């Protein structure tokens, strides 16, 4: 290493950290690992409040080891989060109308005024894209992948996913006993947006009879046939796990509501109710629907997510301190790797119809509601 490069590294004295997008278990564990690692290198960490909103409005707090040390088991994020404050499309009221405005220059000015030498942004695809755009404008930043949806292309897994799957699986286990007791069809709707990972993993682990994924459009008739076959074989109940982004063949996703948000205006939800209604009409079997919703985001992170979050946080802090910006901290084949944000911000990791979990599920008789 030459003297110039060493000199550049010595300039890292203060790092900012923010948590963007929806909350999930493990965020606080990442924050904890970042602060504990940075403090050992005499680097200050400023926690930026409510994601990019904190950079827009210059709201932050200094984080210290004694404060963050108890956070390993705590869900949510002590910094607050938001998925509505994209600085490149920040909603402002102009002439009585909400309009998206580019306030990225304000973010850059505030970044400098706060005395930051680097930024660690923890978030999903939206956070990655925003951070990459800021990097292109000169802000030194690095990202940590977070989402219960597990849909980021550059990493094998994101923290929060394991906990969400565990919560969904436990719910399916509990619903199974009441389904068997009453001989009902029980529909369980889980989160995941346009990716079916939570539905696939929890459905397989929970012994579901039908799993409906966004990646495999379904037919109500095919689901009804699978249920009738189970009944003919002597099974008196059925569990149908539905991803919130699942949709009928030739149809569209079910939208719960549309909000004034240029980043993600459509809020998915309600496909479970639709499936339950249609199945009860076709089969004549008493049907109940449970929508797990945000319970999958909350609570204590699993052992796996605590450890993965800690690994991500330590590597993020070390690379930021060394001046390695413009990357995503990713897990690939069990190893932590640096993936350029230009690559990491592209595309969405979806469930492939020939995924081994799909093949295994089909082999034991689970239906995906398609015509196969």
Contacts of 230 (CB under 8 A, 6+ apart): 209, 238
Q: What is the pLDDT of residue 92?
A: 87
Strand runs labelled E in 181-254: 185-190, 210-212, 238-243
- 84 or 293: which carries more pLDDT confidence? 293
Residue 231 lies in a domain: yes
Question: Are 20 and 130 contacting, i.e. CB atoms less than 8 angstroms apart?
Answer: yes
When divided into structural domains, the chain yields a total of 2
Q: Are 215 and 357 found together in one domain? A: yes
**Does residue 341 fall inside a structural domain?**
no
Q: Is 149 labeled as catalytic in the residue annotation? A: yes
In the block, which residue shows the tokens 């930021």? 320
**pLDDT, the chain, mean:** 92
Note the pLDDT tens digit of each residue in 295-320: 999 899 999 999 999 999 999 999 99
Q: Are residues 7 and 155 in the same domain?
A: yes
Q: Tell me which residue range forms the domain holding 205.
A: 164-298+352-363
CATH of the domain at 77: 3.40.50.450
Residue 6 CB partners (closer than 8 Å, separation 6+)? none
The one catalytic residue among 23, 85, 117, 149: 149
In tens, the pLDDT along 262-277 reads 566 677 788 999 999 9
């Amino acid at each position: 290493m030459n003297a110039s490069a060493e000199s550049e590294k010595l300039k890292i004295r203060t790092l900012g950290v923010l948590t963007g997008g929806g909350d999930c278990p493990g965020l606080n564990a990442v924050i904890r690992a970042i602060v504990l690692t940075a403090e050992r290198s005499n680097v200050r960490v400023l926690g930026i409040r409510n994601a990019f909103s904190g950079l827009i409005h210059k709201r932050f707090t200094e984080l210290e080891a004694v404060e963050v040390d108890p956070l390993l088991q705590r869900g949510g994020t002590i910094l607050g989060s938001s998925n509505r404050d994209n600085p490149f499309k920040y909603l402002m009221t102009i002439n009585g109308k909400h309009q998206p405005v580019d306030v990225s220059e304000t973010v850059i000015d505030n970044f400098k005024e706060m005395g930051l030498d680097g930024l660690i942004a923890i978030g999903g695809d939206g956070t990655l894209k925003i951070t990459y755009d800021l990097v292109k404008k000169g802000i030194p930043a690095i990202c940590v992948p977070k989402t219960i949806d597990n849909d980021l292309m550059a990493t094998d897994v994101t923290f929060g996913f394991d906990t969400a799957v565990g919560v969904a699986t436990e719910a399916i286990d509990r619903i199974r006993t009441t389904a068997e007791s009453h001989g009902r069809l029980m529909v369980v709707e889980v989160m995941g947006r346009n990716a079916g990972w939570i539905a696939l993993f929890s459905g397989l682990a929970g012994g579901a009879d039908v799993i409906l994924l966004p990646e495999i459009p379904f037919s109500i008739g095919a689901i009804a046939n699978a249920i009738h076959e189970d009944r003919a074989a002597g099974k008196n109940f059925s569990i149908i796990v539905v991803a919130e982004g699942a949709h009928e063949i030739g149809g569209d996703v079910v939208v719960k509501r549309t909000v004034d948000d240029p980043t993600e205006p459509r809020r998915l939800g309600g496909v479970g109710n639709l499936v339950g209604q249609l199945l009860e009409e076709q089969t004549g079997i008493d049907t109940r629907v449970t929508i797990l919703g945000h319970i999958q985001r909350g609570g204590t992170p699993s052992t796996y997510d605590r450890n993965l979050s800690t690994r991500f946080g330590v590597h993020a802090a070390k690379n930021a301190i060394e001046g390695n910006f413009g990357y995503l901290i990713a897990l690939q084949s069990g190893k932590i790797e640096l993936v350029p944000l230009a690559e990491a911000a592209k595309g969405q990791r979806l469930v492939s119809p020939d995924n081994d979990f799909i093949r295994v599920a089909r082999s034991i008789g689970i239906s995906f509601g398609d015509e196969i």
